[in-house]
Amino acid sequence: MFFFNFLGGFCFPLSEVGEDQHHSLSLKSKPKNTGTFTKSFGGAGGYIAGSKELIDALKRTAPGHLEATAMSPPVAQQVLSALRVLSGADGSSRGREKLRRLRDNANYLRSRLLSLGVNVLGDWDSPVMPIMLFQPGKIAALSRECLKRGVAMVVVGFPATPLLTARARVCVSAAHSREDLDYAVDVLDEVAGLCLLRYGDRKKAGAREGGAAAEGERTTSEDDPAAASSATALIS
């Protein structure tokens, strides 16, 4: 597999790690893979991974390669260094430990949010959790009420989403403590009542919560530098 950066187009071989390995999928069975360097690496830009023929074609025709500037050297090195840590190529277990904490935090926070009765999208083990607001008028209300209580909440609305699918987006980090997450949930519990956000099924969430607690305790195996998202903290 070869890698193509949207912001300029440098290429290097890409080993079979990440979400595909996590879900036992083979990169060889897929014509291309795409991803981002913003949430997971705190950098900029994104990538496409595919055959050399695909990457060569993109470099000849993609506007991002032909008309945009390349990723800056510091950002490129930041991403490469993060990958070295996550894969264990730095000779330490820091990356494996970060992935374990990230998964634990993600499943713990998702189970707590679902227990509030809010509508949370995404998958278990994922550190990115959209919380549906639906009505555009709730975008500013949620953000301002959370900020008053010391939580900076990212909100997304039209034209980034369809008009009636406004949402908040929570990104959890391996660096968050349980105290951080509990404080954020307490704030969201109060603000969800003020903004009428309890669209979810609390009974269903409660049934899943017991399993999620156990899921949150799973450790990341040594051969799973998988869900390689050490997402930038958006809850403070």
208-217: per-residue pLDDT in tens?
444 444 444 4
Cα 119 from Cα 142, distance rounded (Å): 14
Angle at 184 between CA 79 and CA 104, to 5 degrees: 55
pLDDT of residue 224: 36
> Domain 94-216 is of which CATH architecture?
Alpha-Beta Complex (3.90)
Contact between residue 221 and residue 95 where contact means Cβ atoms under 8 Å apart: no
Residues of the chain within CATH 3.90.1150.10 domain(s) are: 94-216
pLDDT of residue 18: 60
Amino acid letter, residue 233: A
Contact between residue 184 and residue 118 where contact means Cβ atoms under 8 Å apart: no
Q: Which CATH number fits domain 2-87: 3.30.2230.10, 3.40.640.10, 3.40.50.800, 3.40.50.2300?
A: 3.40.640.10
Which pLDDT band, with edges at 50, 70 and 90, does 202 fall under? low
92-138: per-residue pLDDT in tens?
999 889 989 999 999 999 999 999 999 999 989 989 899 999 999 99
pLDDT of residue 147: 95
pLDDT of residue 3: 43
Residues of the chain within CATH 3.40.640.10 domain(s) are: 2-87
pLDDT of residue 23: 64
Does residue 159 have a cis bond before it (omega within 30 degrees)? Answer: yes
130-174: per-residue pLDDT in tens?
999 999 999 999 999 999 999 999 999 999 999 999 999 998 989
User: Does residue 19 register a pLDDT over 70?
Assistant: no
